[in-house]
Structure 1
């Protein structure tokens, strides 16, 4: 059968629903826009008997030259802007020596990242107000959970002391914790605004202040900031969320240059993630356009795809920026073009995505409840 009917939804096509512009872009990158492919174009034309300076051969050489030029320019630009320049390619980390701290790692994207790394034998530390459902999972013994409201500096400092004594100093920080209220600005209570600012923004300061000193002392480490494309654009019912994500992007930018110029630690890498909509519990009740046309050009991101990309970034000894799907890379440019920004906003349906949003309740596990679970 080519279609499957999901309860409460229209029928989905197993082939066309998974086919989107990302697949086309990937194929083009590996073929037409690959410098290895381009180099053989003029050689193939020459092999067909055309003289070196014939029109087809010359066009082939121009095409190959342009493709190679853009690849070289991109590589040189990466070298020039990297805190720790490399000539050919950066090295890879030894995962056995890493201790990865993940905020908001009990569920969603952070939870999947924690489980995936743990199954690979990596030591993982999770800071969250609730406990993850890792019992029975392979590699769960590599995950250490510390109950912590990362928006509160005192709790972060207390957990940091315990982590250093019981496990050691984290070598990688993944600032992933986030909340969204999904309300119009006049409907937001003072507590909700403070919570969004505390979890999405202030928490990153407290995590950095608690764990960055040891990284600076050792001169190595990796800080990954999980932001959002919504930090580049705004939309209705997300004023608090968008504002904090925009601030987080600038925190990342400032930290990158501060580590290089002030602390003289170019080997502490800083990576920024700017994903679009990820199919996680955080936005499970958000509603995006369901037409095949929209999903072809703006596909939803699956958590396992993003986690794979996150691990790929953490595996490399270099600072990187992840922008997914591909259309996110265009957002910084179109946001300033009059008219185009408005059309893109309408096309995305962003201003109505949160109209029926219902926030999932946060289950906080008390120390007493945790002890009861262990005894059971």
Structure 2
């Protein structure tokens, strides 16, 4: 009787399959490396070349929170560039002042609307009204915000809810209302105001920081969702993270080095916002050098970043003291 010899064919097949998979994965990684290197090369070259800024003279720009500060300056500067500007604020008197100033620069370039951006139904109705009276919005700037600054245990429930409703939930309502405008126009640009407090946690600003971190998360996720869909390349996103600005929003700013990191001028911030939008920047800090510094602080040991933060010692004091 002859006994059959054990075969190694199945084992050899497994080894072959593993080798094929390893070879394929290595090849895919190599392709990825080449593509990443190619993009880094393009990025480096672009850094050395002058930036071709987009023309906004044919755009309809909607800005929330135009009653004062950065929102007002944005309205004025976009009008100077030839844009039609839609000014949205809940304060009728101050918003009317902004519109009058804008129209004194270019008559008929600014449009006046009163809206509580925390009211979803009101925002949706406003979008239809603007479409009929002005046209399709092609640049949307979510600028409205509030900044109560005191310890978390001194915030009321109502106050916390209000911070979230204005600083982040209103962004969802404006996106829902005006993205159909982008689709109809065949293009669009969403600009959202975050903050340096959306990059770094600060005392006396827990709810505010939470909303500004949320703005960045929303913008990144929304950009990714659009990139994977049929609107890829038609809608751009820019997130702005300014340092403390002299608009009255910071009631009691704390600045250790005013000659280096003093309060920003609203005109300069507005100018930087418009430049970033026209240059299709994705996320910028104002001043621009704070962005790499923030990233650096995220990769070094925590105690080192705390030492740097304590040395800079900038933020806000409690507005209740």
Report the TM-score when normalising by structure 2. 0.78
Q: 2:182 aligns with which of 212, 215, 231?
A: 215
Greater C-alpha Rg: 2
Seen in structure 2, the aligned counterparts of structure 1 residues 322 and 138 have a Cα distance that, compared at 3 Å, is same
1:289 aligns with 2:255: yes
CA displacement, residues 144-193 of structure 1 (integer Å, 9 cap, x when unaligned): 12111111101101211111110011000111111111121111112111
Structure 1: gaps of 5 or more residues? 1-71, 80-84, 359-376
Which of 127, 130, 135 is the matching residue for 1:163? Answer: 130
Task: Tell me by how many angstroms 1:110 deviates.
Answer: 0.7
- Counterpart mapping for 1:141-290 below 5 A: 141-283=108-250, 285-290=251-256
Q: Which residue of 2 aligns with 1:310?
A: 273
- Per the TM alignment, residue 225 of structure 1 is displaced from its structure 2 partner at its CA by 1.2
**Number of equivalences:** 274
Matched, 1:112 2:52: no
When the two structures are superposed, what TM-score results if normalisation uses the length of structure 1?
0.67
* Structure 2: stretches of 5+ with no match in the other structure: 1-37
Cα deviation 1:108-166 (Å, max 9, x = unaligned): 10111112222333210111101322335423632112111111101101211111110
Q: Displacement of 1:350 after TM fit?
A: 3.9
Indicate yes or no: 2:316 matched with 1:349: no
Q: CA RMSD in A?
A: 2.5
C-alpha displacement at 1:258, in angstroms?
1.0
Distance in structure 2 (CA, Å) of the matches to 1:125 and 1:280: 21
Deviation at 1:217, TM superposition (A): 4.1
What pairs up with 1:73-112 in 2 under 5 angstroms?
76-77=42-43, 92-112=53-73
The one of 91, 109, 120 equivalent to 1:130 is: 91
